[in-house]
């Protein structure tokens, strides 16, 4: 079978009936500039009329055409905070159809975080601990990022986007990936530019910091970033001070039209949009995956994925009796839990396979045999030294001693869930992007089928690839 025939077979087996971008990557050192790094608007900076609201006021509503840096400079010159003309505060930001709103705009106000200075209830969210006077040492105002990695928890608001928050929490386990999403910002003028990966390329989305809030309490209506850096578990207004969660959610909503459009999605879908990576889902109840669990292949893959920098998460199903472990008591059904570390340590003559899970949804401390306060850590001092267990939002689960992966606490807890693997490609990989359309005339199935006597599979969308030297290839639809 030729390479083009093999590729056509792979595409016919996996593509849906709609338009689908196709990404081909090869591992190769290259000094070519990638479109992951630059956008068209970064190559030239035309001048526009200076307005705090919008960069162009021709016929119709104002549309933003300025670069983020131009917006910030303009707002600083005018001493006026930014108001995004392309995503204005109001019912259209919240709902897909204003005539049939899913969210009642009458119960919503749009407020900004009080990044600095004294809290103004007419303008600012109730978030963090406001300053009671000049130089108040006890003030804990909102911040964009947490002071230390792993200190942020997420709380879902009045929107069914737990899938997106699960993806965001997984990305946040690698602080460099999270911060790379925020291209430019100004706290003083309320300007934030986020990059998101859609349809095969990075897009820069600029928003202001006016966030939907409850009219009665003045707290955030949708996703909240909670500060747990003091070791406690809180969800009150004083802890709702980590703002990257709400701002990233807003940028994602703008890219998709409104907040209501975020009500449906999947964790892999979100991971791809936030990283540009290649996500994969492995349903742990499937026979093919269970065979990998039984023969140790999945454990070896977990080690390799963690070592290579992949983002990993596991979904808790919690619907079978087998998954009713001690660790499951503090987990929420349908939630994704990031895997932050995978270790294999020999101690006491036993090879311990350990998986460290982060609980960004935490309402109470983790339970389980290897919870942070477990006496087992004292029994295995070498393991305790290798596996840090002093962070309340994280806990270790044993994935089997020696060859007992299938009977382990980790696998039994998540046996009816799924494992998410998101591969991140370094800049040294070369990328090519192609697009085709599946139609009735060009969707003829895999090649060389017995019933295909006329060779109609040749009308499928195909590409011919010539590989001149050995290299690693990855095909993503």
Predicted pLDDT of residue 164: 97
Residues 6+ apart with CB under 8 A from 422: 170, 268, 271, 272, 275, 277, 278, 279, 280, 310, 311, 312
Q: Is the pLDDT of residue 415 over 50?
A: yes
User: How confident is the prediction for the chain on average, in pLDDT?
Assistant: 82
Q: What whole-number percentage of the chain has pLDDT above 90?
A: 47
- Angstrom distance (rounded) from CA 199 to CA 22: 9
| Among the listed residues 307, 334, 425, 340, the one whose alpha carbon sits nearest the alpha carbon of residue 170 | 340
Q: Is the pLDDT of residue 151 over 60?
A: no
Span of 157-161, 174-178, 214-218, 387-391 with lowest mean pLDDT: 387-391
Q: Is the pLDDT of residue 383 over 80?
A: yes
Predicted pLDDT of residue 253: 96
Q: Is the pLDDT of residue 298 over 60?
A: yes
Sheet with 201-208, edge to edge strand ranges = 182-186, 191-198, 201-208
- Residue 172 per-residue DSSP state: T
Span of 133-142, 310-319, 364-373 with lowest mean pLDDT: 133-142
Predicted pLDDT of residue 311: 96
- Angstrom distance (rounded) from CA 295 to CA 404: 10
Q: Is the pLDDT of residue 130 over 90?
A: no
Predicted pLDDT of residue 409: 87
Residue 138's pLDDT band, with cuts at 50, 70 and 90, is low
Predicted pLDDT of residue 134: 53
Instruction: Report whether 314 contacts 399 (CB < 8 A).
Output: no
Most confident of 25-29, 70-74, 329-333: 70-74
Question: What does the angle CA 151 – CA 272 – CA 263 come to, to the nearest 5 degrees?
Answer: 80
Predicted pLDDT of residue 13: 39
Predicted pLDDT of residue 136: 57
- pLDDT per residue as tens digits for the range 5-21: 444 444 443 333 344 45
Residue with tokens 């230390």: 148
Q: What whole-number percentage of the chain has pLDDT above 70?
A: 80
Residue 420's pLDDT band, with cuts at 50, 70 and 90, is very high
Residue 364's pLDDT band, with cuts at 50, 70 and 90, is low
């Amino acid at each position: 079978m030729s390479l083009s025939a093999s590729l056509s077979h792979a595409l016919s087996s996996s593509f849906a009936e709609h338009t689908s971008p196709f990404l081909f990557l090869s591992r190769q050192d290259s000094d070519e500039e990638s479109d992951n790094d630059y956008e068209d608007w970064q190559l030239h900076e035309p001048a526009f009329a200076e307005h705090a609201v919008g960069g162009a006021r021709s016929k119709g509503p104002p549309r933003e055409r300025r670069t983020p840096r131009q917006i910030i400079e303009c707002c600083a010159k005018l001493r006026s905070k930014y108001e995004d003309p392309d995503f204005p505060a109001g019912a259209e930001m919240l709902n897909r159809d204003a005539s049939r709103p899913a969210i009642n705009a009458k119960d919503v106000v749009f407020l900004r975080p009080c990044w600095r200075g004294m809290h103004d209830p007419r303008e600012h969210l109730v978030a963090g601990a406001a300053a009671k006077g000049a130089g108040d040492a006890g003030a804990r105002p909102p911040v964009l990022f947490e002071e230390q990695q792993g200190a942020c928890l997420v709380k879902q608001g009045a929107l069914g986007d737990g899938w997106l928050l699960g993806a965001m929490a997984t990305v946040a386990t690698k602080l460099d990936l999270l911060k790379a999403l925020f291209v430019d910002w100004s706290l003083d003028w309320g300007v934030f530019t986020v990059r998101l990966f859609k349809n095969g390329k990075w897009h820069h989305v600029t928003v202001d910091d006016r966030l939907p809030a409850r009219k009665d309490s003045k707290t955030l209506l949708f996703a909240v970033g909670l500060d747990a850096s003091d070791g406690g578990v809180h969800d009150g207004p004083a802890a709702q001070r980590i703002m990257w969660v709400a701002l990233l959610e807003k940028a994602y909503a703008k890219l998709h039209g409104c907040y209501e459009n975020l009500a449906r999605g999947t964790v892999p879908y979100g991971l791809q949009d936030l990283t540009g990576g290649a996500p994969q889902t492995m349903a742990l109840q499937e026979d093919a995956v269970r065979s990998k669990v039984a023969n140790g292949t999945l454990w070896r893959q977990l080690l390799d994925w963690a070592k290579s920098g992949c983002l990993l998460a596991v979904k808790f199903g919690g619907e079978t009796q087998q998954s009713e472990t001690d660790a499951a008591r503090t987990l929420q059904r349908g939630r994704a839990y990031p895997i932050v570390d995978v270790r294999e340590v020999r101690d006491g003559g036993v090879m311990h396979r350990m998986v460290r899970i982060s609980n960004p949804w935490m309402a109470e401390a983790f339970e389980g045999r290897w919870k942070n306060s477990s006496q087992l850590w004292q029994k295995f001092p070498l393991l305790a030294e290798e596996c840090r267990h002093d962070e309340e939002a994280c806990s270790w689960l044993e994935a089997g001693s020696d060859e007992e992966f299938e009977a382990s606490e980790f696998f039994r807890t998540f046996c009816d869930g799924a494992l998410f693997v998101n591969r991140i490609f370094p800049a040294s990989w070369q990328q090519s992007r192609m697009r085709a359309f599946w139609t009735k005339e060009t969707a003829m199935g895999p090649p060389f089928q017995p019933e295909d006597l006329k060779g109609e599979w040749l009308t499928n969308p195909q590409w011919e690839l010539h590989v001149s030297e050995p290299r690693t290839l990855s095909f993503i639809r």
